[in-house]
Amino acid sequence: MLRYTLRRLGFAVLTLWVIITLTFLIMHAIPGDPFLSEKKVPQAIRNNILAKYGLDRPIGEQYVIYLKNVLRGELGISMIQQTQTVNKMIREGFPVSATLGAEALTFAIITGLSLGVIAALNQNRAWDYTAIIIAIIGVSVPNFVVASLLQYFLGVKLKILPVARWGDFQHSILPAFSLGLGTLAIMARMMRTTMLEVINQDYIRTAKAKGLNQVEVVWSHAIRNSILPIVTILGPLTANIITGTLVVEQIFGIPGLGKYYVESISNRDYTLILGTTIFYATILVISIFLVDLSYSFIDPRIRLVRGKE
């Protein structure tokens, strides 16, 4: 187990290094620089600005300097918002996005898995068709469309919930539902499929023949053996949700991390591009790493021996 963990940790570190390197190279391959729009600035002043941020140095030297700063946990100063460090911008935006994402993910997991189980146990019945319709809607309709519809009907027309802003729990209900619906649909559809495969296995029939009631069979045998594929996709889904979604956050006026992604690219803010990418990649890699380690705890049949699964 220890060898497997260390090997996975090594792959995680290598993955992060590759992501940082590729992002750095691609970013510098984009024509122009963050100060390209400042056409009225004299060339001498422009050169001084580039020198201040080290953009006048060879790309190899820039890369080494940046890598050293990342290892110290310093992501640099925004080249557009020059009074803000990237670390500070992430510290301010991420807690909001993480709170919203946690609510959306909790809603998606509980509702999605429940719908999948109910649909599988009631195949070709009303509950099954209902779950399929919800899954199709969740996958097909973009979250910004769902957000706009919820905002209009529940916020403007019926005045049940706040239309926008970020405050107490009520303000997070509509955006959390909008963010979580797509994930809910994926989980419901996948759980239904795996449950249908599991409940037709011989060991399920054996469990029923032994006199176990329906709840024990479903909970102790069917769900436990059906949930592993869900855990596999949970890592990337978690990272995607908790780091924020630009459009939904903008629609509801939420001061999260998502807005920095597009702003940094459109402004060619090199340090912010790299900082947000590294931050997102770190969460994604950590999520996948934890998912890998959780397999043996979820399914005792999986053993990690000599670095092999």
Digit-coded pLDDT (tens) for 27-50: 877 766 666 555 566 777 777 877
pLDDT score for 18? 93
**Domain ranges, ordered by start, for the chain:** 94-253
What digits encode the pLDDT tens for the residues 197-217? 888 787 777 877 777 777 777
Asked if residue 309 has pLDDT above 60, the reply is no
DSSP secondary structure letters along 83-128 = T-BHHHHHHHHHHHHHHHHHHHHHHHHHHHHHHHHHHHHTTTSHHH
Question: What is residue 142's three-state secondary structure?
Answer: coil
Name the maximum alpha-carbon separation found in the chain.
Answer: 86
pTM of the entire predicted model = 0.77
Structure tokens at 122: 């009631």
Q: Residues near 227 by Cβ (< 8 Å), separated by ≥ 6?
A: 113, 191, 194, 298
Cα–Cα distance between 110 and 54 in angstroms, integer?
49
> For residue 198, which of 121, 91, 115, 262 has the smallest C-alpha distance?
121
Region 288-294 average pLDDT: 79
Quote helix, strand, coil % in the chain, to nearest 5.
75, 0, 25
Q: How far apart are CA 154 and CA 71, in angstroms?
A: 47
Strand-pairing partners, residue 244, are: none
For the chain, what is the mean pLDDT? 81
- The pLDDT value given to residue 177: 92
Asked if pLDDT for residue 219 goes beyond 60, the answer is: yes
Which pLDDT belongs to residue 39?
53
Q: What are the structure tokens assigned to 82, written together? A: 């020059």
Residue 308 has pLDDT above 50, yes or no: no
β-sheet bridge partners, residue 308:
305
Whether 6 has a pLDDT exceeding 70, the answer reads yes
Q: For residue 306, what pLDDT is reported?
A: 47
Residue type for 90, please?
Answer: I
* Paired tokens of 159: 């005045």
- The residue whose two tokens read 């979580």 is 180
pLDDT tens by residue, 46-104: 778 778 777 778 888 889 988 998 888 888 888 777 778 889 888 888 888 888 888 99
Find out if CATH 3.40.50.300 is the number for domain 94-253: no
| Confidence bin at 301 (pLDDT 50/70/90) | low
Instruction: Write the CA distances from 154 to 17, 150, 220, 250, integer angstroms.
Output: 45, 5, 39, 18
